[in-house]
Amino acid sequence: MASKNSAEFYPNLKDMSPIRGIAETLMNNNMVRTVNIREAYEMARKQPGVGTTDLPMYPEFVKLHNLPSDAKVLNDCHGNIIGRTAKARRFYNRLNTSQKNKLEGDFREAIWQMQQYPLIKAEAILGMDKDLMIKATFITTESDAANLYNWLLNFAPYEQLKEQYEASPKLPIQDIILIAFNEWTCDDDFYNNVGAPQLALVDEKHNVIVNLGMRYFGERKKGTLTMAWTSGIRIGMAACHGGIKEIDFTTCTDAKYHKFGKRSIAFYGLSGTGKSSHTNNSDNAGTLPSGFSKVVLHDDAFQIDLENKVCRVWEPTLFDKTDSRPIDHPDWKYALALMNHATLNIGGKRIPVGQDVRNSNGRALLDRSLLGKYVNRCAFPKALVWLMKDSVLPPIIKCNDKHLAIAMGAALMTQRNRAENVAEEDLNKLVFEPFANPFRVYELYRDVEAFLAVADNGADFYCFNSRGYWKESDDVLEAIPLKTSLTLQTAILTDQITWEPWAALPGAMIPTRESIEAILPGYYDKYNPELRGNKDKYIALLKDRFQQRRDYLMNSDLKEKPETQAKLVGSLNL
Q: Are residues 433 and 498 in the same domain?
A: yes
User: Is 556 within 8 Å of 444 (Cβ atoms)?
Assistant: yes
C-alpha angle 315/382/298, rounded to 5°? 15
Digit-coded pLDDT (tens) for 267-289: 999 888 899 999 999 999 999 99
Give CA–CA dist 54/41, Å, rounded: 15
Q: Are residues 140 and 252 in the same domain?
A: no
What is the H or E stretch that residue 73 is in? strand 72-76
Q: Are residues 192 and 295 in the same domain?
A: no
What is the H or E stretch that residue 64 is in? helix 59-64
* pTM for the predicted model, two decimal places: 0.94
Q: What pLDDT shows up at residue 343?
A: 97
The number of distinct structural domains making up the chain is 2
Digit-coded pLDDT (tens) for 31-40: 999 999 999 9
Q: What pLDDT shows up at residue 195?
A: 87
Q: Which of 186, 207, 236 is the last residue of a domain?
A: 236
Q: How many other C-beta atoms lie within 10 A of the C-beta of residue 117?
A: 15
Give CA–CA dist 64/87, Å, rounded: 38
Q: Which of 212, 236, 260 is the last residue of a domain?
A: 236
Digit-coded pLDDT (tens) for 297-338: 999 999 999 999 999 999 999 999 999 999 999 999 999 999
Q: What pLDDT shows up at residue 376?
A: 97
Ranges of residues in the chain with a pLDDT under 50 are 418-420
Q: Are residues 281 and 430 in the same domain?
A: yes
Q: What pLDDT shows up at residue 417?
A: 56
266-278 burial code (b ≥16 CB/10 A, e <16): bbbbbeebbbbbb
Q: What pLDDT shows up at residue 1?
A: 57
Q: Are residues 127 and 224 in the same domain?
A: yes
Q: Does residue 311 sit within a domain? A: no
Q: What pLDDT shows up at residue 169?
A: 82
Q: What pLDDT shows up at residue 430?
A: 86
Question: Which residue range forms the structural domain that includes residue 196?
Answer: 2-43+87-236
Widest Cα–Cα separation across the chain: 72
Give CA–CA dist 37/559, Å, rounded: 46
**Reduced 3-state DSSP string for 357-413:** CCCCCCEEEEEHHHHCCECCEEECEEEEEEEECCCCCCCEEEECCHHHHHHHHHCCE
Q: How many other C-beta atoms lie within 10 A of the C-beta of residue 211?
A: 25
Q: Are residues 217 and 295 in the same domain?
A: no
The CATH number given to whatever domain includes residue 262 is 3.90.228.20
Give CA–CA dist 341/360, Å, rounded: 9
Give which of 20, 72, 84, 3 is closest to 42, Cα–Cα.
72
Provide CB contacts within 8 A for 196, sequence distance 6+.
184, 185, 213
